[in-house]
Structure 1
């Protein structure tokens, strides 16, 4: 299956061709594998043969995007020298244990990153799966896909909607064809996503063209409360950005569209996520058909779904200007609770009840902070629990005053539970659960 090239590297022989990987810290990483190519506003075209290189790619390809001041402040500074903007952002990275038993096939977890369908990529240090892969003997595939204007805003045949979803589907097809060459079990694929990545997974569950591409779903902090009645806002955004469609410099495109975002405030809370999947365009059904579609498909996918108790504290309690900076702590807590319920918690409960009525297998969870830290278990609090990269997370403002040992030990138990679910679709009542986790089978 594989041949060792030299110390520190590994060459995989796959149906796709030879793929060079790096051995580091007890895992093997095949970085930035291009699975497809695309022209602007065109469907992704799968690659038939690997673009083999004798060197490990150093810079991480990302979809052109604006750096988020909020994430810079709360999670960490972006070292832009590490990244390379690429409008055709169809890449994936595979992380697997360094040593496998002969003929062993491991469960595969496919990481679909969040970032409001606007920012991020699959290969950020804050989502490095090395610890999880080594601890739980799983394979993690991290996907990058088109974002923003390039992947999640459309409205006609010249600028189609949902291109980022089509990218993810192409990546899943690539995984089906090739993951056995890396020691993965193509019949045990779990999609795992946070925030908009979780929202994308929920919508992949009702997309056309995904039959047998995955079997389970782990959905963190999906903003399903933002999915309703977006058509007017999306259409207005689409019209206002028409003049940018032929701009040759993609970085100028992302610099300019932000000028229109304040005009969408009239659409309420959902204007804080201007890009999204769009109902009524392939591969999705109309919005009014979505709940029934989830019910129809409920027996196809095991689901583990949930949120952090204080999701919106990430935005409300960390504002540097505006009305929130003047409100008393008690009022801020009420705003956090109500907005968390509206955007995340109630939609998750509705999803679960609907899913159960279709005969599905679904678990709901909620993560709390048991420490007296100011923003509690906010949006993204779950990420260092799963992706236990201390170097990337130790200076994060959302973990201020929280010992890393607390994050690591609670996270170790969650990593074990989530891997159990990825293997079997179940979580035993006898499995050890951390104090910060409330988990129930619906």
Structure 2
């Protein structure tokens, strides 16, 4: 590692000379292309560059439709800072500016959520600066293909699981080059939330990942929606066949939404019409999946869990539902519905996963984030873990989800949670005597 003038840092790596931003004790190498792809084809690793690798003016992002709910609950997306790119294989490396010579820091790889349909590795709400400053770790954020481009397929011309293949290529890149940034290639933890957690759980049983990571932190993965998706995926694939050769990606994004209502008949799983598909590379069949996780139980340390009121994010924020279920008996019905759907989609599958894993000899912790704040009427909904893990008060200013919660409360609980998650990333363990935030219930399973 060599430093230039203030504001710029140069990494001399085996991949090339990478120009990074340096500010407030943090160094960030932004939007490094780790692979290329053509539409509906597997990614091809990017070759080392003979010229300087410079961060782009705008952040590349997979073409997508903005979610009105996400814009309301999490915050407005700064679209002016993003550039749509159908070949969305980019990653960013953020590390502390005070690393010692030859120091090997633990590496956390962030796999973002968004129903395999929306999102990006480099959003302000998941900027890891606070976490890195507090815990002296390296965080790599990964972008990959989504929606029609990455998580729908089932034919020779439109193969499934391309988003998973993208992430695997990112992990190969990280394994090869992270030491040039001061990271330890033998201590890599994958961290994923929502569909990102779903992707990580399935990377654990994917082909071609041997030695690429060592631990996983799975937050709010909708594992209850992973079953018997084949018919729904096949129908959605057939309905969107008309769009496969469309050159205007914005038109593709506008048009595919017309076909989503046709899969509502498949029940709760239709809430996430895009997803991983069993029986196609790099995955086994659905029937083989549980046994595969058991077989791999001693390979990876696991920290898995959820927020106590996940589905309140969708149900308690609906104006139409609140009209009828916002108070009295209606509110009791709403609370019971949130409890049941949270456990069905997130809670029970996470517990069963953890118990199976521990029973097969794996090291696994199970957690639940509980709302103990009188400020928050919707409890601990989906995505409440994001401000806890990443902080960044300014990025959450327009969030409906946290607007009545004092930031000091979020920061104090978040600081303790970040310390625990970093402890797990370093060692694969959480000490019984480590300080816990009041909002966290956690236990080692099978201990």
Does the alignment reach a TM-score above 0.5?
A: yes
Q: 2:440 pairs with 430, 434, 437, which one?
A: 437
* Equivalence for 1:240: 239
Contact 1:313–1:336 at 8 Å: present in 2 too? yes
Contact 2:60/2:85 (<8 A) preserved:
yes
Shift of 1:7: 1.6
Counterpart Cα distance in 2 of 1:330 and 1:182: 52
Q: CA deviation at 1:387?
A: 0.4
Structure 2: segments with no counterpart, 5+ residues: none
User: Which residue number in structure 1 is paired with residue 425 of structure 2?
Assistant: 422
Q: Which residue of 2 aligns with 1:340?
A: 342
Match of 1:292 in 2: 291
For residue 403 of structure 1, the aligned residue among 401, 406, 409 is: 406
Summarize the alignment of residues 92-171 of structure 1 with structure 2, pairs less than 5 Å apart. Answer: 92-171=91-170
Q: Is the 8 A contact 1:34 1:51 kept in 2?
A: no
| Structure 2 residue 200 is the aligned partner of structure 1 residue 201 | yes
Structure 1 unaligned blocks of 5 or more? none
Deviation at 1:263, TM superposition (A): 1.5
With over 3 angstroms needed to count, the CA separation of the structure-2 counterparts of 1:65 and 1:360, relative to structure 1, is same
Residues 67-78 of structure 1: pairs in structure 2 closer than 5 A: 67-78=66-77
Does structure 1 retain, via aligned residues, the 8 Å contact 2:21–2:29?
yes
Q: Which residue of 1 aligns with 2:324?
A: 326
Q: In the TM superposition, what are the counterparts of 1:247-258 in structure 2 within 5 Å?
A: 247-258=246-257
Distance 2:150 2:209 in 1: 18
SS of residue in 2 equivalent to 1:398: coil
Post-superposition offset of 1:54:
7.0
- The 5-angstrom pairing of residues 38-53 of structure 1 reads 38-50=37-49, 52-53=51-52
Question: Aligned-pair distance for 1:395?
Answer: 2.7
Cα distance, 1:51 vs. partner? 7.7
Q: 1:369 aligns with which of 368, 371, 374?
A: 371
1:399 match: secondary structure: coil
Deviation at 1:331, TM superposition (A): 1.1
> How far apart, in 2, do the equivalents of 1:56 and 1:316 lie?
40
Structure 2 residue aligned with 1:191:
190
**Do 1:34 and 1:50's aligned partners in 2 also have CA atoms closer than 8 Å?**
no
Report the more deviating stretch, 412-421 or 364-373.
Answer: 364-373
Deviation at 1:383, TM superposition (A): 0.4
Look up the SS of the partner of 2:199 in the other structure: helix
Task: Tell me how far apart the structure 2 counterparts of residues 343 and 86 of structure 1 sit (CA, whole Å).
Answer: 32
Question: How big is the shift at 1:78?
Answer: 1.4
Per-residue deviation, 1:218: 0.3
Partner SS state of residue 256, structure 1: helix
Deviation of 1:254 (Å):
1.3
Q: Is contact 2:31–2:55 with CA below 8 Å preserved after alignment? A: no
Query: Is the 1:67–1:119 Cα contact (8 Å) retained in structure 2?
Result: yes
- Secondary structure of the equivalent of 2:4? strand
- Residues 347-372 of structure 1: per-residue CA shift (max 9 Å, x gap): 00110111012110000000011112
SS in 2 for 1:269: helix
Equivalent-residue separation in structure 2 for 1:407 and 1:170 (angstroms): 35
Alignment of 1:353 with 2:351, yes or no, is: no
Equivalent pair of 1:19/1:52 in contact (CA under 8 Å): no
Q: Say yes or no: does 1:181 pair with 2:180.
A: yes
SS in 2 for 1:411: helix
Q: Is the CA contact 1:154–1:238 (under 8 Å) kept in the aligned structure 2?
A: yes
CA apart distance, 1:48: 1.5
- Other structure's SS at 2:401 match: helix
Matches of 1:197 and 1:52 in 2, distance apart? 33
Q: Which residue of 1 aligns with 2:214?
A: 215
| Secondary structure of 2:302 counterpart | strand
CA distance in 2, matches of 1:172, 1:55: 21
Cα displacement (A) at 1:49? 1.3
Matched, 1:303 2:302: yes
Q: Tell me, what secondary structure is at the counterpart of 1:282?
A: coil
CA RMSD of aligned residues (A): 1.0
Secondary structure, aligned partner of 2:159 = coil
Cα distance in 1 for partners of 2:191, 2:405 equals: 25
* Shift in Å, 1:57: 1.9
My pick for the range that moved more, 71-80 or 103-112, is 71-80
Distance 1:51 1:60, change over 3 A: farther
1:383 match: 386
Equivalence for 1:267: 266
